[in-house]
């Protein structure tokens, strides 16, 4: 069944992750180009090039399967005046034949299980990027 799944690890092309407040998602990572940009605690823009290892991709793909990312709605929450003051996360997983794009608004107040799953997926990506960044600093 997993071999016939629409999102197979062997078909992975790239992953893009953006986050920020309002419409400007000034923080972003693109696994295809290695471009990684984020604001640090002092509001300075940090730009780096980091690439994910095959193990990183396998880990994220496995967690996405476990968490159920492929079944998430395209948008978790909705754009509103309130949502413009809280973080927004934009996840894009590209595979050879399919793409999964999910936007998560930080003030989502719907199904708590869906919100928990979305937060878990965001944390998996954050941790993976942090580890890749630490590796690239060596």
User: Considering the entire predicted model, what is its pTM?
Assistant: 0.85
pLDDT 10s per residue in the chain (138 long)? 344 456 888 888 999 999 998 777 889 999 999 999 998 888 889 999 999 999 999 999 889 989 989 899 999 887 767 656 778 899 999 999 899 999 998 877 788 899 889 989 999 999 999 999 999 876
**Largest distance between two CA atoms of the chain:** 48
What the chain holds in terms of domains, given with CATH numbers, is: 9-132 (3.30.1560.10)
> Distance between CA 53 and CA 59 in Å, rounded?
10
């Amino acid at each position: 069944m997993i071999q016939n799944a629409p999102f197979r690890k062997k078909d992975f092309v790239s992953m893009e992750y953006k986050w920020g407040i309002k419409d400007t998602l000034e923080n972003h990572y693109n696994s295809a180009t290695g471009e990684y940009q984020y604001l640090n605690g002092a509001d300075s823009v940090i730009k780096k090039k980091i690439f994910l290892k095959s193990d990183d991709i396998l880990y994220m793909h496995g967690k996405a399967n476990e968490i159920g990312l492929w079944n998430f709605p395209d948008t978790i929450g909705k754009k509103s005046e309130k949502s413009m003051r809280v973080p927004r996360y934009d996840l894009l997983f590209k595979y050879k034949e399919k793409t999964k794009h999910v936007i998560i608004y930080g003030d989502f107040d719907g199904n708590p299980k869906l919100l928990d799953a979305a937060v878990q997926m965001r944390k998996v990506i954050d941790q993976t990027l942090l580890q890749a960044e630490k590796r690239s600093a060596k």
